[in-house]
């Protein structure tokens, strides 16, 4: 019964956080509920009762965690602070899911440009922004793993004029958290991450 109540609570929390309510204001602009994914809130609720991942596979192959400059909290335009990490790579580099979960939203917003939002264990949200293009066929409701390509590195949204990069954000039910301490290197093609928790 306790797990059922937690799962039901997770559905309500997701509806509040990612639906069209004032509670979603702490999430990236344009990230709202799923488009055309029947049953997705119940799938996500089942993930909500799991423990969040302690380690996340860096979303880009060929980039090591030690190469990522820590820009968490850096000043940004319009009085904002950077709530994520920028991972630089050539335009068109495949962007993989950092964890298993379900695609909550595929779309566009002013700051992030082309974005994909994945929900994983513990109700954590994973935000992939500035994508040049989406992976063919990726849509809300898709089950993903660290081997799933979500899109490709680009400069959409407010990244226009900057070197191509992925903005990667992690959102817990209480708000944004720094993804850098969670990231681990991908080992080789066909393997997820070293030290995955």
DSSP label at residue 144: E
Q: Give the CATH number for residue 91.
A: 2.70.70.10
User: How confident is the model over 140-193, as pLDDT tens digits?
Assistant: 999 999 999 999 999 998 888 889 999 999 998 888 899 999 999 986 554 444
Distance CA 161, CA 49 (A): 41
Q: Which residues are paired to 127 by β-bridges?
A: 117, 169
Whether 59 is covered by a domain: the verdict is yes
Range of the domain at 25: 2-184
> Do 179 and 85 form a contact (C-beta atoms < 8 A)?
yes
The mean pLDDT value for 2-21 works out to: 44
Q: Is residue 122 part of a domain?
A: yes
The Cα–Cα gap between 168 and 180 comes to 9
Token reading at 166: 């992925």
> How high is the mean pLDDT of the chain?
78
% of the chain at pLDDT higher than 90: 49
The pTM is what?
Answer: 0.77
Dist. CA 28–CA 111, nearest whole Å: 8
Is residue 86 included in any domain, yes or no? yes
Residue 191 located in a structural domain: no
Question: How far is Cα 89 from Cα 176, in angstroms, rounded to an integer?
Answer: 23
Domain count, the chain: 1
190 lies in some domain: no
DSSP string of 45-80, one letter each residue: HHHHTSPPPS-EE-SSTT--GGGS---TT-B-GGG-
Q: Is residue 143, in this structure, part of any structural domain at all? A: yes
**Does residue 120 contact residue 47 with C-beta atoms inside 8 Å?**
yes
User: What is the pLDDT at residue 70?
Assistant: 83
CA-wise closest residue to 187 among 52, 53, 55: 55
With respect to residue 29, please indicate whether it lies within any of the assigned structural domains.
yes
Asked whether residue 91 carries a pLDDT value surpassing 50, the answer given is yes
DSSP type of residue 84: S
**Does any domain span residue 196?**
no
**Res. 2: pLDDT tops 70:** no
Q: Read off the pLDDT band of 82 (50, 70, 90).
A: low
């Amino acid at each position: 019964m306790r797990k059922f109540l937690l799962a039901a609570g997770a559905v309500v929390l997701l509806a509040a956080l990612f639906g069209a309510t004032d509670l979603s204001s702490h999430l990236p602009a344009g990230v709202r509920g799923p488009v055309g994914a029947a049953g997705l809130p119940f799938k996500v609720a089942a993930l909500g009762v799991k423990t969040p991942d302690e380690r996340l596979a860096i979303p880009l192959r060929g980039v090591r965690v030690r190469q990522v400059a820590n820009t968490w909290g850096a000043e940004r335009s319009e009085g904002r602070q950077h709530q994520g990490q920028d991972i630089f790579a050539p335009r068109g580099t495949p962007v993989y899911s950092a964890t298993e979960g379900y695609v909550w939203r595929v779309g566009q917003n002013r700051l992030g440009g082309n974005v994909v939002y994945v929900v994983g264990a513990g109700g954590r949200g994973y935000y992939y922004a500035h994508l040049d293009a989406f992976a063919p066929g990726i849509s809300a409701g898709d089950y993903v793993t660290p081997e799933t390509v979500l899109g490709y590195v680009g400069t959409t949204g407010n990244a226009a004029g900057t070197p191509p990069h992925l903005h990667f954000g992690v959102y817990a039910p209480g708000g944004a958290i720094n993804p850098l301490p969670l990231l681990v290197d991908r080992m080789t093609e066909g393997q997820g991450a070293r030290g995955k928790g």
